[in-house]
Chain A
Amino acid sequence: TQLLEQSPQFLSIQEGENLTVYCNSSSVFSSLQWYRQEPGEGPVLLVTVVTGGEVKKLKRLTFQFGDARKDSSLHITAAQPGDTGLYLCAGANNNAGNMLTFGGGTRLMVKP
């Protein structure tokens, strides 16, 4: 069974601060995806990383895939209240029909 551990589970910071969310596994994934979920809605895809060591940037968000494709991180620079939400990482394996294995999520609150 593949598992993804996310840390921290909760994060409450002030506007303007930086933060990093981690997603770790002992398993290798074909790709890893990061989602953001608002209350009462489904997860919305932020980014997919595929290559070990890959770094992708989305405005103030930086995503990194570990060299061994077992772990990933999400770094947010100068967080804003609009960044508040549940951040989920999910690993996919092409051998398993791209079934997604989700981490437990990081609930981020950015206070103005």
Chain B
Amino acid sequence: ETGVTQSPTHLIKTRGQQVTLRCSSQSGHNTVSWYQQALGQGPQFIFQYYREEENGRGNFPPRFSGLQFPNYSSELNVNALELDDSALYLCASTRAIAGGTDTQYFGPGTRLTVL
């Protein structure tokens, strides 16, 4: 186990609704990244948070937003859900080091289904 936990495990929503996914990072890690993995594909980078601020973003619309808290846990919020948002959402934590970040450790993911 990586020490990264995510909740909930599974979630079913309908189009237009909003969802909040949560991630607790591994002890000692101050950086959290979120990824979206559609069925049968590799994960796609959504954004990264470091010291409670967004520190890089992939090609996702503004209705995907996030937060990082002082204890380094994080939330991913998605507004106005669309059918294509159905995916496994992965959280990965790491620690910032000189020149970049250390190895990222992934949580088990939250499976979101949008009907």
Digit string of B81-106 for contact with A (CB within 8 Å is 1, else 0)? 00000000010101000011101111
**Shortest 9 CB-CB contacts between residues of A and residues of B:** A94-B100, A42-B106, A102-B42, A98-B101, A97-B56, A98-B100, A105-B42, A102-B43, A104-B42
The interface on chain A, measured as residues whose beta carbon lies within 8 A of the other chain's beta carbons, has a size of 29
Q: Which A residues are in CB contact (< 8 Å) with B79?
A: none
Task: Please report the C-alpha to C-alpha distance between residue A101 and residue B59 in the assembled complex, in whole angstroms.
Answer: 12
**Docked-complex contact B103 and A100, CB < 8 angstroms:** no
Q: A42-B106, A45-B103 are in contact. Are A100 and B33 (CB under 8 A)?
A: yes
Which residues from chain B sit less than 8 Å from chain A, CB to CB?
Answer: 2, 4, 31, 33, 35, 40-45, 48, 50, 55-56, 58-59, 90, 92, 94, 99-101, 103-109, 111
**Docked-complex contact B99 and A42, CB < 8 angstroms:** no
Task: Choose one: A40, A48, A93, A105; the contact of B41 (CB below 8 Å).
Answer: A105
Q: Which of B2, B42, B56 has the most CB of A within 10 A?
A: B42
Q: Which B residues are in CB contact (< 8 Å) with A30?
A: 100
Task: Sample 8 A-B pairs with CB under 8 A, ordered by A number.
Answer: A1-B59, A94-B99, A98-B104, A99-B48, A100-B45, A101-B45, A102-B42, A104-B41
Task: Choose one: A35, A94, A97; the contact of B50 (CB below 8 Å).
Answer: A97
Task: Choose one: A45, A88, A99, A105; the contact of B33 (CB below 8 Å).
Answer: A99
